[in-house]
Amino acid sequence: MNLTIKEDTELQRKLFSSLQTLSETQVDIGLLPSAGGQLAFILGVQTHGSPIMHIPPRPVVQPALQQTSVRTAIAEGFAQSLSAAMEGDSAGVTVGLESAGQAGADGIRAYIDAGIAPPNSPVTVSGGWIWNRVAKKGVLITGKGSGKPLYRTGALYNAFDYEVKKR
């Protein structure tokens, strides 16, 4: 009986390259720095609330990404990426990571679409007079016209995205 061992150096090189790509790449999901400081401030106020501005806490990103369906979709993207890495397909690694990132960003938007508790107050929806404690006078505010939080201009809603980048 004869045993012949052949090394496929090209496959080993591709495998090493794709595993290195996988280990050196990260996926950021949520509000990216490119969205700007104003949207980051708005998200911070929505996440933690503001007693002064009468805004209750309405966290969005973390609860959305903790939903089982979203976690499963993200995991499927990572599994696709790992499978491509084990086949030596560096381009497939990136495609899998982008799939995971897109699933996360879509999950955040779906969480907002489902409605976040508590709903907007009646004065926020229709407008009216509120008392400004700092200025010690009444202030007329215009209504948003919607009882759903995080729906005004759509700027924050549309700013949720993902980014695949090198560490």
Backbone conformation region of residue 145, classed left if phi is above 0, alpha if psi is from -120 to 50, else beta: left
In the structure encoding, which two tokens stand for residue 111, read together? 């969480």
Q: What is the pLDDT of residues 152-165, one digit of tens each?
A: 678 889 999 999 99
Confidence of residue 29 (pLDDT cuts 50, 70, 90): very high
In contact, 110 and 158? CB cutoff 8 Å? no
pLDDT score at 14: 85
For the question of whether the overall pTM of this predicted structure is more than 0.85, the answer is: no
Where is average pLDDT lowest: 12-21, 85-94, 105-114, 115-124? 115-124
Can you tell me whether residue 28 is helix, strand or coil?
strand
pLDDT score at 3: 61
DSSP 8-state secondary structure symbol assigned to residue 5: -
Domain boundaries, the chain: 9-119+150-166
pLDDT score at 43: 93
Rounded average pLDDT over 127-152? 79
pLDDT of 27 > 90? The answer is yes
Label the pairing between strands 25-31 and 137-142.
unpaired
Going through the chain in order, the beta strands assigned E by DSSP cover 25-31, 127-132, 137-142, 160-166
pLDDT score at 151: 67
pLDDT of 142 > 70? The answer is yes
Q: What is the pLDDT of residues 58-95, one digit of tens each?
A: 999 999 999 999 999 999 999 999 999 888 888 999 99
Biggest alpha carbon distance in the chain?
A: 97
What per-residue string of b and e applies to 86-96 under the rule 16 or more CB within 10 Å gives b? eebbbebbbbb
